[in-house]
Amino acid sequence: MKFIFVTGGVMSGLGKGITSASIGLLLKSCGLRVTSIKIDPYLNCDAGTMSPYQHGEVFVLDDGTEVDMDLGNYERFLGESMSQANNITTGKVYKKVIEQERRGDYLGETVQIIPHVTDQIKADIHKVAQDTHADVVVIELGGTVGDIESMPFLEAVRQLRRELRKDSLVVHTTLVPVLKAVGEAKTKPTQHSVKELRAIGIQPDIIVARSEHPLSGDTCRKIGLFCDVAPEAVIGAPDARSIYEVPLILEQQGLTQLLSEQLQLGQQMPQLSEWNLFVERVTQPTHQVEIALVGKYTDLSDSYVSYEEALTHAGAALDAGVKIRWIESDLIQPDSLSGVDGIIVPVGFGSRGSDGKIEAICYARENNIPYLGICYGFQMAVIEFARNVLKLKNATSSEFDDQAEHQVVSLLPEQKEMEDLGGTMRLGLHSIVIRENSLANKLYCNPSIDERHRHRFEVNLDYVDQFESAGLIFSGRSEDGRRMEIAEYADHPYFIAAQFHPEFLSRPNQPRPLFLGLIHACLNEQSKSS
C-alpha cells in the first residue's frame, strides 16, 4: 500500500485539491485502486455549520456526512463515493483523543499532541487505507505550511514518512509568480515554502508549481537545484481552460512515470482516451447556453461549485458550453434575467433573499424559461405557486414565519416534536419513488432512484391535493409517500424542482438527468426561436 501526501505553501487556493484529484485520476487510469483523504485543520468536526462565504460549498456524502468541497472533486475525478472517514478534521481528532482520555484508555499517561494526537491522525489514515483496500491513498493536507493549526498533521506526516519509507512520497504545491514589470518568473516564494517544509523535517519529492503560464526549463532547473529535487520532478501547473484539463497537463510532463518510479508501482501507462474526449467537449463546444443561477452566496462562486460542475457535465454530453450568469437574489432587478436560456434556484437557508428567488421562479414559469429548482429552490417553487396560482395570500415556509396562516412548507409533525433542531436535518442518500408518465420518469427512466439530501423543511401534506389539482404535480415522493421529492409543472417547456441535491452525484461522462434535461430544454428553446 502506497501513500502520497499533498501539501501546499505560499498561499491558499493554489489547487491542492485539484492536484490531489488529478493524481488520483492518473493512477486509477493505470488500473490501480485509489482512494483520497482530505485533512482540514479546523476545529469543526465537519463542514456542516460553516458559512459558504468562509469555506465554500458544503458537500454531502452518501452516508450523510457534511464535508469540504474538495471531496466533491475527489468523487468527480475518481468516479467513486467517499465516506465520513475520508475527511479528517482537527475537531474529529481531538474529540476522539479526549473521549479516549475520559474512558481511561491512556492508562494514566499525560495526554499530549505528540504522541497521542499524532498517533490518532496516523490511525485514521491507516484505517481508510485498510477499509478501502486501496493500492494508493492520496492525502491532501489543507491549509498552508507554516500555519500553526497544521503543525500536528505535518508532524504526523513526518512520522509516517519515516515509518513507510519507500512506500510514501510528498507532492508540494507552490506558487511561481511573474512580475509584470520585469516579466520574470520568481522562484523565491517556492524556495521559502520548501525551506519551511524542510524545517519541519519533510523533504518534498515532487513540486507542482502553479503559474499563470507554462514554466521554462531554466525555471524548473533552478527550483530543482535550490529545493533539492530532480529538475524533472518540478511539474508546472499553468492556468488551464478547465479543471478537467489539469490531469492531462500534469501527465504531459511525466507525472505518472515519476510517481510509478518513486513508489515502485511498475511501468503502467494511464488510459486517458475517454477523459481526453470529455475535455475536448468541455473546452471546444459547438453550442452555448446561458444559465442564470439566482443564489444567496454568489459573491463566492465556490459556494456553488457542484452546480457549476454538474452544468459542465450536462453541457459536455450535449456538446454545449454553459455560461453562468451569477445573480444575487437580494439584488435582483426586472432586467436581471433578460436573455438567459434557463434559470436555476439552488440551495439556501433562512429568509434572506427568498423574495428575489420567488421573483425569479415566477419569471421562469410565466415566460416559459426552462427552470430547475434544487432543495431551497424546490421549496421556493412551491411557495411561488401557492402565492401566484393558488392565490394563498402570504403563503410561506414555517422556517420564515411559524405563525403564518398558510405554511405550505413546514416541518413534519414528528419533526416538530424533536427538542434538538439539528436532529431534524435529512442527510445522505435516500430512495425516491417516481410517478409513471411524468417528466421525472422520462428523465430518469426508472421508477425508483437514490439521491443525496440536505434539508430540514418539507412540503406541508395538507396542501398537496390543492397543488396537484392546479397543475403542480409531485412526481417524486419518499418511499412512505409522506415527503414530496420532485415537483413539476406540465404546461411548460421545462419546469421541475427537486428537494434533493442531484449535483452531488454528477460525474464527467455521467451527467445527472435533471441537469441534462435543463440543458436539453434550453437548446430546444433556442432552436425554436432561431
Q: Which residue has the cell 451527467?
A: 511
Nearest alpha carbon to residue 282 among 237, 240, 317: 317
Pick the closest to residue 362 from 345, 374, 346, 350 (CA basis): 345
Q: Within 13 Å and on the Cβ side, how many CA atoms surround 339?
A: 6
> For 2, how many CA atoms within 13 A lie in the half-sphere containing its CB?
22
**Beta strand ranges found along 13-167 (DSSP E):** 34-40, 59-60, 66-67, 87-89, 136-141
Backbone angles phi, psi at 473, to 5 degrees: -95, 135
DSSP character at residue 114? I
Q: Are 391 and 439 in contact (CB under 8 A)?
A: no
CA distance 262 to 255: 11
The distance in angstroms from the start CA to the end CA of the chain is 57
Strands 234-238 and 287-295: unpaired
Q: How far apart are CA 247 and CA 396, in angstroms?
A: 47
- Residue 413 neighbours by CB distance under 10 Å: 9
Three cell numbers at 45? 468536526
Active site residues: 375, 501, 503
In Å, how far are 136, 217, 231, 257, 525 from 253, measured between CA atoms?
A: 21, 11, 11, 9, 43
CA nearest 36: which of 167, 171, 152, 134? 134
Closest CA to 373 of 470, 437, 292, 449: 292
Q: What is the distance between the alpha carbons of residues 441 and 447, in angstroms, rounded to a whole number?
A: 7
Q: Which residues pair with 325 in a beta bridge?
A: 292
How many beta carbons lie within 10 A of that of residue 409, not counting itself? 24
- Count H helices and E strands in the chain, helices first: 18, 23
Measured between alpha carbons, how far is 416 from 48 in angstroms, rounded to an integer? 21
